[in-house]
Chains A and B, each alone.
Chain A
Amino acid sequence: MMQNPIYFLLKQSRSTGPMLLPRLVHSSVTLQRNAESGGAETSDMPIEIENPFKKEKVVCILCKMKIEPDYKNVRLLSQFVSPFTGLMYGRHITGLCKTQQERVASEITKSQNAGMMPYYNKEPEFLEDPKLFNPDRPVRNHEY
């Protein structure tokens, strides 16, 4: 270790303080040798951190807001229903995860069965509710 003059000078400069170093012509060979001699002792080695450019996990709107679909909450369920047919939109349009889509679908059938929600249309009072998605611009293409 001590045979390497550059390393020796560097070490001295660290212990004594700032110091003028001779200008060296950097070649790949010397740099490599430095890295070998320095090893884990040098503090400017790459440190392991989490990827700072990692994107946030995509979560569906019901999971994000932690909303439990309920058959009594007709207003919420109507937002996932087509005003023309009264049927629920597909997963490629609603943008829900698989589990939530199934839950909403089952709650809609319960609600319709209990006489709280219409089968063939959307309640006219809910027609102007805020839109959660645009049926003309699906999240993904239709499977078929």
Chain B
Amino acid sequence: MLTYELSMLLRTMPKEELAVVLKRASTSIFNQGGIIRNIDNLGARKMPYKTSNHGVVHKQAHYFVISFTAPPSKLVTIESECHRDVDIIRNRIFKVNENANFECTLEEELKPPPYRPEVIKMIEDARKKGKKVGKSTFKFNTGLDYYPFQR
């Protein structure tokens, strides 16, 4: 099972009501066989753009992020349940980034074009394409060294 993050913007309201909404969201995760790993409170702040949801225009929101583990097939259900909640303005589920192992290729990218590995590969591919590997020209088998018919 993979780890996901449910980012939610809640309507600004007193603390007790926030707890109730969070409880509702977490029970919907538990009901789908998920496990909650962490709940982060990112605080209440002005939203970068106004959002209208459930017939109300919101300009402020309370930001929460729940990191959880759940079967991937149940994510749609969790998302739709949060979507139907009147107190949740916006919710998104993202997969948590795995630690990527890669080398920084900036040095190669700063080289002049003919020395860049990707350009070298492109030139090689074009050369191969020009040769038409595996294709041969049609032979008439007339035994003549010229084309006998009108062109």
Contact = CB atoms under 8 A, between A and B. Distances in A.
Given A97-B109, A114-B92, A115-B48, A63 B42 contact: no
B102 A68 contact: no
Interface stretch (A20-28, A38-46, A53-61, A130-138): A53-61
23 contacts: A59-B104, A59-B107, A60-B106, A63-B104, A68-B97, A70-B97, A71-B94, A72-B65, A95-B106, A97-B106, A97-B109, A98-B109, A99-B102, A103-B100, A110-B92, A114-B7, A114-B9, A114-B92, A115-B48, A115-B90, A116-B7, A117-B48, A123-B48
B63 A116 contact: yes
Given A98-B109, A115-B47, A139-B110, A60 B104 contact: yes
B105 interface: yes
A114 B90 contact: yes
Given A58-B110, A113-B92, A140-B110, A118 B49 contact: yes
Query: Nearest 8 A-B pairs (CB), nearest first?
Result: A118-B48, A63-B104, A97-B106, A58-B107, A60-B106, A114-B7, A114-B92, A59-B104
A96 interface: yes
B66 interface: no
Secondary structure dominating the interface of B: strand
Interface in A74-131: 91, 95-100, 103, 110, 113-119, 123
Interface residues of B, number: 24
B97 A97 contact: no
Q: Is the interface of A mostly helix, strand, loop or mixed?
A: loop
Interface of A: 57-60, 63-64, 68, 70-72, 91, 95-100, 103, 110, 113-119, 123, 139-140
Nearest to B102: A99
A140 B113 CA distance: 12
Interface in B56-94: 61, 63, 65, 89-90, 92, 94
A15 B42 CA distance: 80
